[in-house]
Amino acid sequence: MANETEDAPTNSASESHATSADVERNPTDEDKNEKLLNDAVQFLPTDAVKDLLSKEVCLRCIFRLFGMQVPICSSLSVKSLLCHVLGEQADLHQNISSVEPNICRSCLGILQFTYCGDKERVVENESACDFAVAIAELVKKEGHQIDSFSLEVSMPPTILENENKLSLYVKRKYRSEAWFKDRSISECSSTKDALKFALTNPLETLLDVKCGISTFHIRLTYSRVEASIRIQNFVEKIEGCKRRKVDAKNCLDTVKDKSAITGVENSVVSTTEVIPVDEKSSNGLQDNEPSETHEFPLKKVNEPCRLECLCFRTPIYFGGRYLKYSRNVSQTRWIIDEERMGEASIEEIIGGNILPMCRGDSYKFHAAGREDIDVRMLGSGRPFLFEIQNAREVPSELLVKEIESKINSLENKLVRVKNLKIVGSQGWTLMREGEAEKQKQYAALVWISRPLQDEDFQTISSLKETQILQKTPIRVLHRRSPLEREKIINWMKIEKIAGSSQYFLLHMCTQAGTYIKEFVHGDLGRTNPSIGSILGCRAEILQLDVTDVKMNCFLTE
């Protein structure tokens, strides 16, 4: 994030300072927050505050520990906060570093708005407003069109452990004090909540939108270098244990190894998952056990957490139906031995027009089934979903219609789109509900080895709800499991072609997933019955069209 002033251009830095000042210098809010702070600090126990400051706990962590949540705690600099709390303005202006720790032992610099950024440089911000400016600049740099945002924070488990230890330390040392009996340390806010509380208002002002449930997310991920190293070491140990060869003579070693692995895995989990709140301190003392020394439980910290700031939008979905008029267009991009199959793909034609309009990072294509490259998709079309990852712009209904018109006016006329619209995640539900029960209608150009006879029409049309058994076709056996599938042929009828006795059009409706080509020629007996076996002759399929996919989704605009 561009708040490292030594690398930032002069004009950007000046803009940042101006923006931060705009957030901080609202006279009405400033007076209100000043009063709130003055009222709040009157109830702070000065001796406890000085004690915690001397133990290298930052002032915002102290405020958090004593349940103070006033916006000014976030917007004012540390110098101003200390002056309000301890009333030693003359000395603090000259010697503030001796009072406020460089890196807080409890929050590891998070509530000091200090972190390791790119190239492991330590970035320091005076207040939450300065930090919010850096975040807002990243959002604006990414060019997202937003009407709200969701703020997400992820912290290492050490933070929660530190919070518990710090609360227990204060509880043990000061529980006999009168002020302690009047307040509940257990009700203090967490570091995560305090950070979100500090950043929300400045970000709302800078971005001019509200924070809440949103498809646009700002995610702050803090991590510790030491934790990453420990996890890597644990993973290496686990992999080493798994690679060991164990035979019958070493069954005892096997048991020991399993125990060791379990311990290692638990250790990994403890560094990556949330640690439950426990009333035990690090030395194992219960809360009600005496402790004479009141030893401070938190270790000195030499460097702050790493911070990764991401801003992204959850996927947006376009639903519709596509028609394919070419017998040389695949559904998705098809490459074999670095050679492209077909002249284009449905995925690329549609996605290549939608993605630029949304300014997204990438797309994923999902369809309700698929047809072979040499099969046309006609009729009402095949339902599909396009998933756009991290779209910077959500198109309006008018723009969506422009995208549809652009696709349909392409010169090659390979593909056409119908009923294109933006749908929510419920589009998945519509697709899933229809896939299991959907039926498909086909028109196949068939050749048989003898002339077509009048009784053949009746034979074919009389077959209703015919059950067939299909083994995995030979043509796809190299990439599909060898299974037997029961499928239903709902109905069939023959359409005679004028001037031809051995060619005809076969119209049929079948259960989804039926291999139509194999149903016609029999696939060397692997599909039974087939058109060839029903008519008692050799049958071959020359062309195939899908004429309808019977699903209720995306049928209308």
Strands (E), 68-154: 114-116, 122-124, 148-154
Give the mean pLDDT of the chain.
Answer: 79
Specify the 3-state DSSP secondary structure of 449: coil
The answer to whether 372 is a known catalytic residue is: yes
Over residues 207-225, mean pLDDT = 92
* Lowest mean per-residue pLDDT among 188-202, 267-281, 344-358, 468-482: 267-281
159-171 pLDDT, tens per residue?
999 999 998 898 8
Q: Counting Cβ atoms within 10 Å, is residue 108 exposed (0-12), middle (13-18) or buried (19+)?
A: buried
User: Do residues 168 and 279 touch, judged by C-beta distance below 8 A?
Assistant: yes
- Is 557's pLDDT higher than 70? no
**Residue 503: CB partners within 8 Å, gap ≥ 6?**
445, 446, 447, 497, 542
pLDDT at 37: 63
521-544 pLDDT, tens per residue?
999 999 999 999 999 999 999 999
Over residues 112-139, mean pLDDT = 89
476-485 pLDDT, tens per residue?
898 888 899 9
31-45, 97-111, 262-276: which has the highest mean pLDDT? 97-111
Q: Hey, where are the domains in the chain?
A: 30-223, 315-437, 440-548
d(CA 53, CA 69): 19
Residue 513's pLDDT band (cuts 50, 70, 90): confident
540-552 pLDDT, tens per residue?
999 999 999 988 8
- Is 134's pLDDT higher than 70? yes
Cα angle for residues 382, 520, 442 (degrees, 5° grid)? 25
List the one residue out of 375, 321, 373, 372 whose CA is nearest residue 344: 373
336-374 pLDDT, tens per residue?
888 888 889 999 999 999 999 999 999 999 998 889 999
User: Do residues 185 and 163 touch, judged by C-beta distance below 8 A?
Assistant: no
pLDDT at 177: 81
pLDDT at 319: 92
Tokens of 179: 């002020």
Over residues 213-232, mean pLDDT = 79
User: Do residues 325 and 547 touch, judged by C-beta distance below 8 A?
Assistant: no
Please state the φ and ψ torsions of residue 51, each to the nearest 5 degrees.
-60, -50
Pairwise pLDDT comparison (30 vs 211), residue with the higher score: 211
- Is 280's pLDDT higher than 90? no
* Lowest mean per-residue pLDDT among 37-51, 108-122, 196-210, 275-289: 275-289
pLDDT at 337: 82
User: Which residue in the block uniquely carries the two structure tokens 């700002």?
Assistant: 218
d(CA 158, CA 42): 31
Which class does domain 440-548 fall in? alpha beta
Residue 220's pLDDT band (cuts 50, 70, 90): very high
Over residues 202-229, mean pLDDT = 88
pLDDT at 7: 39
d(CA 48, CA 294): 13
d(CA 533, CA 459): 12
> What proportion of the chain, given as a percentage, has pLDDT over 70?
72
Tokens of 265: 């895995």
pLDDT at 191: 92
* Active-site position among 22, 29, 257, 372: 372
pLDDT at 80: 61
pLDDT at 2: 43
440-548 has the same fold as 315-437: yes
pLDDT at 4: 43
Number of Cβ within 10 Å of residue 11's Cβ equals 8
pTM, two decimal places: 0.71
CATH entry 3.30.70.2510 includes domain 315-437? yes
**Residue 398: CB partners within 8 Å, gap ≥ 6?**
none
User: Do residues 442 and 544 touch, judged by C-beta distance below 8 A?
Assistant: yes
pLDDT at 36: 61
491-504 pLDDT, tens per residue?
999 999 998 999 99
> What proportion of the chain, given as a percentage, has pLDDT over 90?
49
Residue 11's pLDDT band (cuts 50, 70, 90): very low
